[in-house]
Amino acid sequence: MPKTVSGFSKFNKLEKINWLVSAFFNDDENVKDILIQYWNKNEVLQDLHDDFIENTISNFYLPYAVSPNFIINGREYAIPMTIEESSVVAAASLVAKFWSTRGGFKANVISTTKIGQVHFMYEGNKAELENHFNKKKEHLYKVTENITKNMRKRGGGILDIELRDKTSELENYYQLHVTFETVDSMGANFINSCLEAIADEFKKEDIQIVMCILSNYVPECLVHAEVSCKVDDLYAENSEVLAQKFVQAIQIANAEPHRAVTHNKGIMNGVDAVVLATGNDFRAIEAGAHAFAARNGKYKSLTNATIENGIFKFWIEIPLALGTVGGLTKLHPLSKLSLELLENPSAKELMEIIAVAGLAQNFAALRALTTTGIQKGHMKMHLTNIIKQLGASEEEKAFLIDYFEHKTVTHNAVVEAYNKLV
């Protein structure tokens, strides 16, 4: 059976599965069963999911959880999170509770500007190009009027169009650098449509348009979130030393990119989980956040901490281009529900909530790392996964969870304890 195929996208779902199972799984019926068992019995819902992407053959479940007790700017939230990593939601919930008795989280959006660029090559005289741009500039707005009409009604649109000379970085390379306000939508399609219309109007025979595309690097779509309390209120014992370790942990991340990447990965555990649960694009958020972390030429922490006059302050600044309308946000029933759970936030409010989720994760990670170590909590959460892998019965599971209540969980220790049981 050949392992390549033509016209695959035209096959219906069962035909696709049959082909796949024949070509790659020796006609193993079990594979077919696994794929089919994840189909939703509600056909309308399944059709909806089938149509999100091409060649859908099944659904891939991720847990959908909530993390309650977050207080953000004085409002109470239960934050929806979609993630497979066992300790993330538990950590978020603990930290939410912890800060809820210390004034909660404060967050504010610093800016909301998004960016798109028309990249082009031009070999001619720069003054002539500038002339052409200045003459055309008004028209460049005009040709987008149809596209921007609704956005303008909502308070958004094109903020500015700039001609940028990039020839010092690449011979003959210029760009139209366009800034946008997209209000409550992430705005990717809106931005790209505007850029293509602009490029069409701007082009002339000696301008070679290479491409038009939004940028996922959005340092001016920025949100700040923070917590603070008296150093003495942070821990029951040794508070001063442990608070200091927090500050040192961030200094280490700033000094050492190997640590900074892991440090920021922990932040993104919280960020991505909410981004995903609200139907936003986590790849865009990831790319933008990491570029921001390296904005000064060295990859550094997205969070910061200080101790001043006996006050511990811990904060994050992170670019988040998000939408609460458009895209998948209202189309996927669970994203819609997530947004309802968050009381239908504006994109700005969602930026604040997600920045808080990232900050909370980092607080949880640094607190564990600088005290007990990460494995204690992590392995406790992972215990049920190991028990499941071993195929333990409900009774054995209950015994093992009880047995490890006050013992160190390692994979070997669980296997040994289980083997003694069976």
Please, what is the minimum distance in Å from the beta carbon of residue 71 to ligand MEV? Answer: 23
Q: Is 265 among the catalytic positions?
A: yes
- The identity of residue 272, as a single letter, is D
| Catalytic residue chosen out of the listed positions 224, 265, 336, 380 | 265
Residue 132 is a binding residue for ligand MEV (CB under 6 A): no
Question: What contacts 419, CB < 8 A, 6 or more positions away?
Answer: none
Cβ closer to ligand MEV: 263 or 382? 263
Question: What contacts 325, CB < 8 A, 6 or more positions away?
Answer: 184, 185
* Touching ligand MEV, residues 368-407 (CB under 6 A): 369, 374
Rg from Cα positions in the chain:
26
φ and ψ at residue 411, rounded to 5 degrees: -60, -45
Please, what is the minimum distance in Å from the beta carbon of residue 369 to ligand MEV? Answer: 6
Which range in 211-219, 236-244, 262-270, 352-360 contacts ligand MEV by CB under 6 A? 262-270
Number of residue whose CB is nearest ligand MEV: 266
**Helices and strands of the chain, counted as H and E runs:** 15, 10
- CA distance linking residue 307 with residue 228, whole number of Å: 10
φ and ψ at residue 381, rounded to 5 degrees: -70, -30
**Structure token pair of residue 172:** 């003959």
Question: What contacts 187, CB < 8 A, 6 or more positions away?
Answer: 114, 156, 180, 214, 321, 323, 326
Cβ closer to ligand MEV: 67 or 269? 269
Closest CA to 303 of 246, 381, 233: 246
Closest CA to 288 of 155, 197, 186: 186
Residue 185 is a binding residue for ligand MEV (CB under 6 A): no
Residue 290 is a binding residue for ligand MEV (CB under 6 A): no
Residue 209 and residue 199 in contact, taking contact as beta carbons nearer than 8 Å: yes
- CA distance linking residue 45 with residue 272, whole number of Å: 24
Cβ closer to ligand MEV: 148 or 264? 264
Strands 157-165 and 173-181: antiparallel
- The three-class DSSP label of residue 393 is coil
Cβ closer to ligand MEV: 99 or 418? 99
Please, what is the minimum distance in Å from the beta carbon of residue 401 to ligand MEV? Answer: 22
| Catalytic residue chosen out of the listed positions 226, 281, 349, 352 | 281
> What angle, 0 to 180 degrees and rounded to 10, lies between the N-to-C axes of helices 374-389 and 347-369?
100
Please, what is the minimum distance in Å from the beta carbon of residue 147 to ligand MEV? Answer: 41
Binding mask 65-104 for ligand MEV (x = CB under 6 A): --------------------x-------------------
CA distances (Å), origin 187, targets 151, 220, 412? 10, 15, 49
Q: Is 407 among the catalytic positions?
A: no
Residue 279 is a binding residue for ligand MEV (CB under 6 A): no
Cβ closer to ligand MEV: 91 or 109? 91
Cβ closer to ligand MEV: 67 or 324? 67
Residue 365 is a binding residue for ligand MEV (CB under 6 A): yes
Choose which of 58, 185, 228, 269 interacts with ligand MEV (CB under 6 A). 269
Which range in 154-162, 191-199, 260-268, 382-390 contacts ligand MEV by CB under 6 A? 260-268
- CA distance linking residue 211 with residue 202, whole number of Å: 13
Q: Is 281 among the catalytic positions?
A: yes
Residue 245 is a binding residue for ligand MEV (CB under 6 A): no
* Touching ligand MEV, residues 186-205 (CB under 6 A): none
| Catalytic residue chosen out of the listed positions 13, 32, 85, 286 | 85
Closest CA to 319 of 186, 138, 167: 186
Q: Is 258 among the catalytic positions?
A: no
Residue 319 and residue 292 in contact, taking contact as beta carbons nearer than 8 Å: yes
Choose which of 114, 245, 263, 382 interacts with ligand MEV (CB under 6 A). 263
| Catalytic residue chosen out of the listed positions 136, 245, 378, 382 | 378
Cβ closer to ligand MEV: 167 or 262? 262
Edge to edge, what strands does the sheet with 106-109 contain?
Answer: 106-109, 222-230, 311-319, 303-308
Residue 366 and residue 267 in contact, taking contact as beta carbons nearer than 8 Å: no
Residue 16 is a binding residue for ligand MEV (CB under 6 A): no
Cβ closer to ligand MEV: 374 or 421? 374
Task: Quickly tell me which residue has 């028309």 as its tokens.
Answer: 118
Which range in 136-144, 258-266, 278-286, 310-318 contacts ligand MEV by CB under 6 A? 258-266
Please, what is the minimum distance in Å from the beta carbon of residue 305 to ligand MEV? Answer: 13
Catalytic amino acids? 85, 265, 281, 378
Return residues touching ligand MEV (CB under 6 A). 85, 262-263, 265-266, 269, 365, 369, 374
